[in-house]
Structure 1
Amino acid sequence: MPKVRKMLNNWDAPYIQSLMRQIETQSKETLTYWAVEYSEEVMLPLWRKHYPIDLRPSNALTAVRDWLAGTIKLPQAKKAILECHAAAREAENNPVAQAAARAIAQSASTIHSAKHCIGLALYGALAVAYDALGTEAQWEQLELCAAEGCGRMLDSLRSISVEDEPYPVNIDWKS
């Protein structure tokens, strides 16, 4: 049985590099919006498939939306995000749900640091691959499926990207 990996970790992979380059052209607000929208559309259903009554990932996304709207303060949003991280830890025996919850938590954490949005790809694309192919699949197959998922994420980000964004993020990917 192949070892179940918790995330993609090849930062030099073309599908990760393409996302990183597009991320660098956008503002934190655009990245937050993208990561939360994508998480709600793709990651949250994967979580709910396994844990339909655990609302912590959904609550984290709601908290970010509330923070963006100015109806709650950052500490309140952070509390919901930390609860989502806890949900991911508690799902350690379910790679699909765990990776989906981690992707959601990282996406939500974009309100704190724009760099966190890459977690959507690193965890989320693997969640989609595990869901589609199973955890028994060979890594090469999983990575190909994850690369396709990252391609869909990139298309999604490009569709909402602000052309000539005046305030793009400045991310040091090495720190």
Structure 2
Amino acid sequence: MLENIEEKLKKKNTILFSRESECLQELIFLIQQQNHRTLVLWAFECIKVPLKTLERKYSEEFRAQNAFEICQRWARGEEKMPAAKRAILECHAVCKEINDKSDIALYHAIGQGLSTIHVETHAIGLPIYELSAIVFSHKEDYEIKVKEKIEFYKRKIDECKEKVDRSDLKWAGFLMKDKSNKEKLLALKEIDN
């Protein structure tokens, strides 16, 4: 299931998973079946874990939390995309200022997750980076931790699917339009090629 990880670690890769990773195929399929709002809610829920981890370690660093708050407002229609895009880029920029591979991957996971608001194809970036962080921080027992995290992602999708249309959640107009899932369209395009 995690056949290429050791090879990527030896090569000192910073991203250890991809859309082609066998262990992510079921999750990708689930992502392809969801509407945009469900994936945004899922990303928000999943981001809370790495956000707390980074806040404990970098108590003076607020760019990831700021991006999260701005993107929550964007998803509600209370903020415009340019402000959210700047905040997401600032979250990614933290990576240039730190050296810990795991933490760098977590900041990228948050940025990718928040970018899900823009388009569904960013959703898989959250696990790609967060799972890489898990491997970097749990070198001895990462396989179990990665499998547990993938199960967590799948459970969260189911939970978010159930609560996405609750009346207490406010959504921006562009998220209320149920369009074709871009992740699914990407997969169909790859099949045609």
TM superposition score normalised by structure 2: 0.75
Indicate which of 8, 27, 35 corresponds to 2:16. 8
- Return 5+ residue gaps in structure 2 as ranges: 1-8, 164-177
Map 1:44-63 to 2 at 5 A.
44-63=51-70
Query: SS at the partner of 1:7?
Result: coil
The alignment status of 1:108 with 2:120, answered yes or no, reads no
1:81 alignment partner in structure 2: 88
Aligned residues: 165
Q: Could you tell me which amino acid in structure 2 is paired with residue 78 of structure 1? A: K
The one of 22, 25, 29 aligned to 1:21: 29
Superposition CA RMSD, Å: 2.5
Question: What letter matches 1:170 in structure 2?
Answer: K
Q: Counterpart of 1:169 in structure 2: which amino acid?
A: N
List aligned pairs for 1:122-133, cutoff 5 A.
122-131=128-137, 133=138
Among all aligned residue pairs of Structure 1 and Structure 2, give the percentage whose two residues are the same amino acid.
29
Pair 48,129 (structure 1): closer, same or farther in 2 beyond 3 Å: farther
- Mind listing any 5+ residue stretches in structure 1 that lack a counterpart? none
**How far apart are residue 17 of structure 1 and its match?**
0.5
Question: Larger radius of gyration, structure 1 or 2?
Answer: 2
